[in-house]
Structure 1
């Protein structure tokens, strides 16, 4: 039974996501930024760069939140270095994670299809066959 091998980047990524989630939560409060949460972190193989994906509670303020996080990325990296026991902490690059928004949009489309009902789709099929 083969087991999945975990690369160091996977372990570091998970640790960065946990620690940075706490740090970002406090920084958002301190700097008056819109509330965000860290949804994912992708670390380069050389551990020099980290893409940090965040989701905003208020979608309309997501650009403001990402801009604010980019401005304080150096401070966040310093706090992350204190929290983690790494020789080199990756440079943080913040990105908005729109996967939640896309999932919500798909969910709404599926609900709209349910509202239409099977009667409408069968009458459409009958019209196409003519």
Structure 2
């Protein structure tokens, strides 16, 4: 499978999953939080897809969203199969994407350092 095809399928899956989560999934565990699909990685045979998501919330809310997404994975995969025009519909595995949290933490640390430099300069 070419990289261009994989990239296009990844983006199509991300787009359709975002739409399904926003409009058609009626699971209160997932709908109570703002879930953002950040990336999708399919295997070369397009049978499996790792879906990376992020939310802003505490650990309890993250665990609840993870359970909701795992519960809805079969339904989401079936709905995705109706929308995609691929030979196989990928089995979805959801993984929490920590990159947003790390970026936020680094940004706060840099702001603290900047604030400390301004105090010493005065």
Q: TM-score, normalised by structure 2?
A: 0.85
- Structure 1 residues 59 and 8, CA gap change in structure 2 (3 angstroms): farther
Match of 1:14 among 4, 11, 15: 11
Instruction: Give 5+ residue unaligned stretches, structure 1.
Output: 123-130
Q: What SS class does the counterpart of residue 44 from structure 2 fall into?
A: coil
CA RMSD of aligned residues (A): 1.9
Instruction: Give 5+ residue unaligned stretches, structure 2.
Output: none
Larger RCO, structures 1/2 (Cα 8 Å, 6+ apart): 2
Aligned pairs, number: 116
Q: Is 1:23 the equivalent of 2:20?
A: yes
Give the conservation status (yes or no) of the 8 Å contact 1:25–1:37: no
Return the offset for 1:38.
Answer: 0.8
For 1:115 and 1:27, locate their aligned partners in 2 and report how far apart those are by CA, in whole Å: 45
For 2:50 and 2:75, locate their aligned partners in 1 and report how far apart those are by CA, in whole Å: 16
Range 59-68 or range 48-57, more displaced: 59-68
When Rg is computed on C-alpha atoms for both structures, the one with the higher figure is 1
Return the offset for 1:64.
Answer: 1.1
Q: Is 1:65 the equivalent of 2:92?
A: no
Q: TM-score, normalised by structure 1?
A: 0.80
Q: What SS class does the counterpart of residue 57 from structure 1 fall into?
A: coil
